[in-house]
C-alpha cells in the first residue's frame, strides 16, 4: 500500500457521487425522491466506496428548474423532507465516511424568494438592490437583446415598477446582483450557516457568471468574478477542510488556474465542459449534436490533464443531471452496454483529478426515448420546443435532439430492481421510468460479480489505495489513434499504463515505447493482462490497466 506519510487534501483521493434527489429514491409513495430515501440507500454508496456526495438542490423551491430556483436557502423543500432529515443525512453519511457537498445556486434565486418579493413590493427596500434592474430600451422593449438559456428574452418587465429584471435562466430565476456588498454578505452568512451544520463543501452552480456586466453583454468570466471568489473564500472557506468545485461552462485551459491555482485562494477545482461542447453543433448547439469522434474527445481530456499538470486540479466526469447518459453518448447502449460502461469508467477514473459518478452511471443506465412533448419535464426542453415549434420545426427533428441530448435523459428515476417503477417509488413517478429497468437495475448488476458496480468499486478503491492513481504524472500516448485511448501515469519509478478500445470493433494496437510495462493487472473488463508491449489484439471496448516498473525516474 502506497501513500503513507503523504499529506494531501482528502478530496484528491476520493471519488464523488452525484445524487439528483428528485429521482434517486422515494420513501413515501408521492412519486418524488426525498432525503429519507437517500438515507435508506446510503449503504449502496458506502459499498461503492465513494468519499462524498454532490447533492443537487434540496432547498425550498417552486421547482421551476427542479430546485435550481431557490426560494429559501435555509429550508428544505417539503417534497424532499425537513431540516432534521438533512441533519440526519449528514450524520448517517458521515458514519459511513461520506461527506455531503451541497449544490449552491447563488447566481440567481427564485422569484418567490422573500428577497424578490420585497424587491418588487417596494423599490426602496434594501432587497430591491439585490437584483439587476434596468429601464426599458429606447423602443420600450427589453434593455438589451440578451437571451435566456431556456429560450425567450433574458429580461422580464415588472409592470408595477415599469422596469425589467435580468435572468440568465428562466423568468422564475432572477439573477442576484453581486455588485451589491450587502447581497454578498448575506450569501456568505448563509454559506457559513450550512458549513457549520457539518456539510463537506459546495458545488457552485454557474459560478463563472457572478462577475457579469449585463450592460456590456459580458456574462461569463466577467471583470469582477475573481475578486468575488476570493472574498467568498476569505468569508467562508478559509481554515475549513471543505471541497469546493465550481461549475464553469466558460473556463479554458488559459483561465483555469485563476480559479484553482494554488496561490489563488478561490476554489479547489472547476468542472470544464470542453469534451461536452466539442460535440455541440457550431450553430444549433446541443440540439443537433455532432457524431462522437475519439481523437476530438481525447484531445479535450488530455489538454486539461496537461494544463493542470503542475498546479490546479481536474474534476473528472462524463455525466451529470444536465447531460445525456454517458454509455449512450460515448459508448454503446446496445450489445456492448456493460463492457463499454466499464471502458468509459476506466478511461476517466485513471486520469489525474477527482472523478464524479452520476447516479445510475455505476450500473450503466442509458438514455430514455421521448416520443411526445408531454413526456418532457425539463424547462429547457419545454422552452426550446416552444421556440422550435414557433419557427415551424418538425416535432420529429426536435425529438431527435432531445433524445440525444435532453437533460431529462439523466433525470429518469434510479433503477434499483425489476420491481414496478424500478423500485424507485410505490406511487406514480414524477417522470417516466426507463422501461429497460426490468433488465438494467442495481439488484441485477450487483448479483453479477463482473457487473458494472463491481468495476466501479474497484476503480474507486484504486484511487484511495494507490498513490500512482491519485498523484502520478499524466503522459498521453497514441493521441491521433482513431479507436484507442491510451495514457500512462508515472510516479517514483513506476508506470501505470491504461489502454481502452473505445469502439465496437476489435483492433490491433501497436504499443508505443513509453507505454510499455510489465507487472500487475489493476483493472480489466475482458481478461486481466500483465504485459503491455508489442502489438496487442484488443476486443471491442476492451479496457485494462497494468502497473510495473518504469516511468520518468524509473529504471525502465
Catalytic residues: 205, 247
Smallest distance from ligand TEU to CB 219, Å: 10
Smallest distance from ligand TEU to CB 6, Å: 33
Q: Of these partners, ligand TEU, Ca ion, none, which one is at the site of residue 32 (CB under 5 to 8 Å by kind)? A: Ca ion
Nearer to ligand TEU, 217 or 508 (CB): 217
The Cα 110–Cα 426 span in angstroms is 31
Angle between helices 452-465 and 337-349 (to 10 degrees): 10
The Cα 41–Cα 47 span in angstroms is 10
Smallest distance from Ca ion to CB 27, Å: 6
Nearer to ligand TEU, 85 or 322 (CB): 322
**222-250: b (≥16 Cβ within 10 Å) or e:** beebbebbebbbeebbeeeebbbbbbbbe
Q: Of these partners, ligand TEU, Ca ion, none, which one is at the site of residue 494 (CB under 5 to 8 Å by kind)? A: none
- Quick one: three-class SS letters along 396-407? HHHHHHHHHHCC
**Window contacting Ca ion (CB under 5 A); options: 33-41, 150-158, 228-236, 489-497:** 33-41
Nearer to Ca ion, 32 or 90 (CB): 32
Say if residues 460 and 349 touch (Cβ distance below 8 Å). yes
- Interface residue with Ca ion among 12, 20, 24, 26 (CB under 5 A) is 26
Residues 6+ apart with CB under 8 A from 7: none
Q: Of these partners, ligand TEU, Ca ion, none, which one is at the site of residue 169 (CB under 5 to 8 Å by kind)? A: ligand TEU
Nearer to ligand TEU, 65 or 332 (CB): 65
What single-letter DSSP state applies at residue 512?
A: P
Q: Of these partners, Ca ion, ligand TEU, none, which one is at the site of residue 65 (CB under 5 to 8 Å by kind)? A: ligand TEU
Q: Of these partners, ligand TEU, Ca ion, none, which one is at the site of residue 34 (CB under 5 to 8 Å by kind)? A: Ca ion
For the chain, how are helix, strand and coil distributed in percent, rounded to 5? 35, 20, 45
Nearer to Ca ion, 81 or 551 (CB): 81
Q: Of these partners, ligand TEU, Ca ion, none, which one is at the site of residue 28 (CB under 5 to 8 Å by kind)? A: Ca ion
- Under rule CB under 5 A, which residues in 441-460 are in contact with Ca ion? none
Nearer to ligand TEU, 287 or 336 (CB): 287
- Quick one: three-class SS letters along 356-421? EEECCHHHCCCCCCCCCHHHCCCHHHHHHHHHHHHCCCCHHHHHHHHHHHCCHHHHCCCCCCCCHH
Smallest distance from Ca ion to CB 387, Å: 33
- Which residues here bind ligand TEU, judged by CB under 6 A? 65, 68, 105, 149, 169, 205-206, 247, 249, 286, 321-322, 380, 407
- Residue whose Cβ sits closest to ligand TEU: 68
- Which among 463, 466, 512, 518 is positioned nearest to 492, based on CA atoms? 466
* Run of H or E including 428: none
State the greatest distance between any 2 C-alpha atoms of the chain, in Å, as a whole number: 76
Q: Of these partners, ligand TEU, Ca ion, none, which one is at the site of residue 105 (CB under 5 to 8 Å by kind)? A: ligand TEU
- Residue 82 as a binder of Ca ion (CB under 5 A): the answer is no
**Window contacting Ca ion (CB under 5 A); options: 18-26, 205-213, 400-408, 497-505:** 18-26
Nearer to Ca ion, 35 or 363 (CB): 35
Q: Three-state SS for 426? A: coil
- Residue 418 as a binder of Ca ion (CB under 5 A): the answer is no
The C-alpha torsion from 298 through 304 and 310 to 313, rounded to 10°, is -120
- Under rule CB under 5 A, which residues in 34-63 are in contact with Ca ion? 34
The Cα 97–Cα 232 span in angstroms is 27
The Cα 93–Cα 202 span in angstroms is 16
CA angle 24, 27, 29 (to 5 degrees): 105
Nearer to Ca ion, 30 or 375 (CB): 30
Smallest distance from ligand TEU to CB 340, Å: 24
**Window contacting Ca ion (CB under 5 A); options: 20-28, 196-204, 387-395, 494-502:** 20-28
The Cα 501–Cα 508 span in angstroms is 10
Smallest distance from ligand TEU to CB 387, Å: 13
**Window contacting Ca ion (CB under 5 A); options: 25-33, 187-195, 457-465, 482-490:** 25-33
Smallest distance from ligand TEU to CB 284, Å: 12
Nearer to ligand TEU, 45 or 149 (CB): 149
Smallest distance from ligand TEU to CB 3, Å: 33
Smallest distance from ligand TEU to CB 7, Å: 33
- Residue whose Cβ sits closest to Ca ion: 34
- Which among 44, 84, 15, 14 is positioned nearest to 414, based on CA atoms? 44
Q: How far separated are the first and last CA of the chain, in Å rounded?
A: 22
The Cα 519–Cα 544 span in angstroms is 13
Phi and psi torsions of 200, nearest 5°? -90, -5
Residues touching Ca ion: how many (CB under 5 A)? 5
The Cα 360–Cα 24 span in angstroms is 9
Residues that bind Ca ion (CB under 5 A): 26, 28, 30, 32, 34
Amino acid at each position: 500500500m502506497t501513500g503513507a506519510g503523504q499529506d494531501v487534501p482528502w478530496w484528491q483521493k476520493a471519488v464523488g457521487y452525484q445524487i439528483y434527489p428528485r429521482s434517486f429514491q422515494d420513501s413515501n409513495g408521492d412519486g418524488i425522491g426525498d432525503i429519507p430515501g437517500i438515507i435508506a440507500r446510503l449503504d449502496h454508496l458506502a459499498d461503492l466506496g465513494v468519499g462524498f456526495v454532490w447533492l443537487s438542490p434540496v432547498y425550498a423551491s417552486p421547482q421551476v428548474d427542479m430546485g435550481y430556483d431557490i426560494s429559501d436557502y435555509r429550508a428544505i423543500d417539503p417534497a424532499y423532507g425537513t431540516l432534521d432529515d438533512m441533519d440526519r443525512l449528514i450524520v448517517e453519511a458521515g458514519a459511513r465516511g461520506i461527506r455531503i457537498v451541497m449544490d449552491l445556486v447563488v447566481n440567481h434565486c427564485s422569484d418567490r424568494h422573500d428577497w424578490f418579493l420585497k424587491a418588487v413590493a417596494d423599490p426602496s427596500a434594501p432587497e430591491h438592490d439585490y437584483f439587476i434592474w434596468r429601464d426599458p430600451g429606447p423602443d420600450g422593449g427589453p434593455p438589451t437583446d440578451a437571451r435566456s438559456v431556456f429560450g425567450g428574452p433574458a429580461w422580464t418587465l415588472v409592470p408595477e415598477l415599469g422596469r425589467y429584471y435580468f435572468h440568465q435562466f428562466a423568468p422564475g430565476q432572477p439573477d442576484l446582483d453581486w455588485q451589491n456588498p450587502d447581497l454578498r454578505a448575506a450569501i456568505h452568512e448563509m454559506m457559513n450557516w450550512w458549513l457549520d451544520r457539518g456539510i463537506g463543501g459546495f458545488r457552485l452552480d454557474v459560478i463563472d457568471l457572478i462577475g457579469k456586466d449585463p450592460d456590456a453583454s459580458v456574462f461569463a468570466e466577467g471583470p469582477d468574478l475573481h475578486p468575488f471568489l476570493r472574498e467568498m473564500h476569505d468569508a467562508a472557506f478559509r481554515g475549513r477542510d471543505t471541497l469546493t468545485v465550481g461549475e464553469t461552462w466558460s473556463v479554458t485551459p488559459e483561465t483555469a488556474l485563476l480559479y484553482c491555482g494554488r496561490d489563488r485562494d478561490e476554489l479547489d477545482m472547476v468542472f470544464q465542459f470542453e469534451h461536452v461542447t466539442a460535440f455541440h453543433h457550431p450553430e444549433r448547439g446541443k440540439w443537433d449534436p455532432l457524431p462522437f469522434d475519439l481523437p476530438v474527445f481525447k484531445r479535450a481530456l488530455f489538454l486539461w490533464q496537461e494544463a493542470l499538470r503542475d498546479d490546479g486540479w481536474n474534476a473528472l466526469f462524463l455525466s451529470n443531471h444536465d447531460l445525456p447518459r454517458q454509455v449512450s453518448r460515448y459508448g454503446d447502449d446496445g450489445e456492448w452496454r456493460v463492457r463499454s460502461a466499464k471502458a468509459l469508467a476506466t478511461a476517466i477514473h485513471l486520469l489525474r483529478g477527482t472523478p464524479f459518478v452520476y447516479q445510475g452511471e455505476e450500473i450503466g443506465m442509458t438514455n430514455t426515448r421521448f416520443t411526445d412533448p408531454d413526456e418532457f419535464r425539463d424547462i429547457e426542453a419545454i422552452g426550446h420546443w416552444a421556440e422550435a415549434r414557433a419557427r415551424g420545426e418538425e416535432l420529429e427533428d426536435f425529438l431527435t435532439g432531445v433524445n440525444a441530448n435532453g437533460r431529462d435523459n439523466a433525470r429518469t428515476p434510479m433503477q434499483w430492481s425489476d420491481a414496478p417503477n424500478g423500485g424507485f417509488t410505490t406511487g406514480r413517478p414524477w417522470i417516466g421510468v426507463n422501461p429497460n429497468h426490468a433488465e438494467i437495475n442495481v439488484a441485477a448488476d450487483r448479483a453479477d460479480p463482473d457487473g458494472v458496480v463491481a468495476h466501479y468499486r474497484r476503480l474507486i478503491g484504486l484511487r484511495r489505495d494507490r498513490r500512482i492513481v491519485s498523484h502520478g504524472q499524466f503522459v498521453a500516448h497514441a493521441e491521433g489513434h482513431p479507436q484507442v485511448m491510451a495514457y500512462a501515469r508515472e510516479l517514483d519509478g513506476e508506470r501505470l499504463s491504461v489502454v481502452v478500445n473505445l469502439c465496437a470493433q476489435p483492433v490491433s494496437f501497436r504499443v508505443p515505447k513509453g507505454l510499455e510495462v510489465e507487472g500487475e493487472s489493476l483493472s480489466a473488463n475482458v481478461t486481466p493482462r500483465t504485459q503491455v508491449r508489442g502489438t496487442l489484439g484488443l476486443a471491442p471496448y476492451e479496457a485494462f490497466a497494468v502497473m510495473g516498473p518504469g516511468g520518468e525516474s524509473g529504471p525502465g
